[in-house]
Structure 1
């Protein structure tokens, strides 16, 4: 009898061991496999983002910081006199004055911004100086210009012959109905994930052509035209800034991503909010959002057909047409 009890006890524990091992094996097999983080990677708005990304990639491929990459990237567009909506050569306001806006944000949620800046070609670098060298976030107008000069930035005339000619032609009718779409690229926004897994972003523009003197859009406003949360993702915006500001677009999308939405779906929900809240306006304006998550996933969405964005990583370099609500 004793031998029988030993046999039964041994059989029971052996069975439990096998069963437990089986459950353990099943649990391991059912655990979701995490995708490897795609890094480094840089994405930016519009077709001029292709050249901007190349400059940013020089920093990223050398294991540099994302914040340095986005600054260097958008400077390429700011320096292009043939680009009518960013930096030198940007279309002026209705008084014939070129005014520039820009902001930058790093992985520590430090940020700097300038708005209504005149005679300085690289507002993104002035914004970087505001972030790095002052206790402030935003400087505007004459104060921003003075600060830039003190920091060694060269003043120059930003109104090119081509842009002046366009402005004088506009003066004949003075029709102001901004339709920012593929025919009139507005801003360059850029977000990047570096080799260390950190996110940063930059946004720079000359704003809507023929705007009222003193008008500022979303591009220099943290939370509207740009927002970075290094735990979640980075987002930038393009289009008619008033409507991006009204929904705090970039910040909203980051928070939607925090709730678990993929970048593309978060951008889509932001666009749909504009459509829903402004049914009488959205058909005549363009807004596009571009988002990059902490794991290197990206996505975009716009109100209308025509918004595209550039992607650059180790194995990818292309221009992608964003999905849209209504063509």
Structure 2
């Protein structure tokens, strides 16, 4: 089978730079080899737990970011994966991408009836000469790789929401839909009254004990999107970007706006220039707001989450409501509200 060419690891991957406090004020010494995993939204808490099992045993960040988001994909009570809301035709389509420390990447777009699109994305990276497979071709490849086809059926929550949407068929993305229920907005936990998580994306980035970075992103896409719509989540440089010499970043929110500024690539390049993770995320948000103007920006949400080679991290979003999960030990797996502009 075809194997993607691996590049030699640079000697700098073992950097052990010491720092005493990160952007959020956690004290104590840590170095570039300290394992750490970050993920978006409340569902990241459980996803981090699975990723941490790999990181704490000295495992590779690349394996951790795959296994971590698989937890979210498996939850039928979560809007990531096959339990998510469908497109306008009533069909759930899934997007995912993954990127390793060598700069290799794989992704799937508009994939149907496969439980773990993130794992198919990894197979695309490792077993084909391509970066992306789409639609029927992605599904055909997944089946050839041994992934079973799941029933073409909406989850009970998604079916209920879809029938409700059909009453007006009005397509207008809500700000921080993850945070809203009954017209009220509140910080975590982001659960609906039936106990279901209400998200459509999870992004995860991690640094392992060897100081290597990797990232993943998986989504069921925006609820009731046009058939064939793809957002930022599976796009390298938009929803996810990793540069092992510098850092990694993921995004969440209105994907069209992230794509227009190549958001995560921008964040990583700003970190290369010396920006802290938080300030890099803030500048990327600034560019989106500048492009749209304040009035329009009040109607959208975009958030970025970043991690640099030192293990420092930060986030920033347009509006209040975005949160992310941080895990760096068996006892510390915390949900943190992102700083915001509006």
TM-score range, shorter chain: 0.7 to 0.9
Q: Could you tell me which of 172, 192, 213 is aligned with 1:177?
A: 172
Distance 1:186 1:324 in 2: 21
Residues 1:180 and 1:154: Cα distance change in structure 2 (over 3 Å): farther
- Counting only pairs closer than 5 Å after superposition, residues 221-260 of structure 1 correspond to structure 2 as 221-260=235-274
Q: Which runs of 5+ in 2 are unaligned?
A: 1-16, 20-29, 181-197
* SS of the residue 1:284 aligns to: coil
Distance 2:137 2:101 in 1: 27
Distance 1:112 1:34 in 2: 33
How far did residue 185 of structure 1 move? 2.9
Q: 1:71-101 CA deviation, whole Å, 9 max, x = no partner? A: 00000000111112x1021000010000000
Q: Which has the higher helix share?
A: 1
Indicate the residue corresponding to 2:13 in structure 1.
none
1:186 and 1:239 in contact (8 A); partners too = no
How far did residue 34 of structure 1 move? 4.4
Q: Which runs of 5+ in 1 are unaligned?
A: 1-32
How far did residue 296 of structure 1 move? 0.3
Indicate the residue corresponding to 2:23 in structure 1.
none
Q: Could you tell me which of 49, 60, 65 is aligned with 1:54?
A: 49
1:141 aligns with 2:135: yes
1:74 aligns with 2:89: no
1:311 aligns with 2:326: yes
Indicate the residue corresponding to 1:91 in structure 2.
85
Distance 1:300 1:249 in 2: 13
**Structure of greater Rg:** 1
Distance 2:175 2:250 in 1: 16
Distance 1:144 1:180 in 2: 31
- Counting only pairs closer than 5 Å after superposition, residues 213-292 of structure 1 correspond to structure 2 as 213-279=227-293, 280-292=295-307
Q: Could you tell me which of 176, 181, 199 is aligned with 2:213?
A: 199
User: What TM-score do you get using the length of structure 2 for normalisation?
Assistant: 0.84
1:298 aligns with 2:278: no
* SS of the residue 1:139 aligns to: strand
1:321 aligns with 2:337: yes
How far did residue 165 of structure 1 move? 1.6
Indicate the residue corresponding to 2:94 in structure 1.
100
Distance 2:242 2:201 in 1: 18
Indicate the residue corresponding to 2:14 in structure 1.
none
How far did residue 180 of structure 1 move? 4.1
Indicate the residue corresponding to 2:189 in structure 1.
none
2:326 and 2:334 in contact (8 A); partners too = yes
Distance 2:229 2:89 in 1: 12
Distance 1:281 1:199 in 2: 35
* SS of the residue 1:223 aligns to: coil
Q: 1:18-76 CA deviation, whole Å, 9 max, x = no partner? A: xxxxxxxxxxxxxxx94242510000000000000000001101111000000000000
How far did residue 324 of structure 1 move? 0.4
Q: Could you tell me which of 147, 155, 163 is aligned with 1:160?
A: 155
Distance 2:166 2:206 in 1: 40
Q: 1:246-299 CA deviation, whole Å, 9 max, x = no partner? A: 000000000000000000000000001100001153211111100000000000
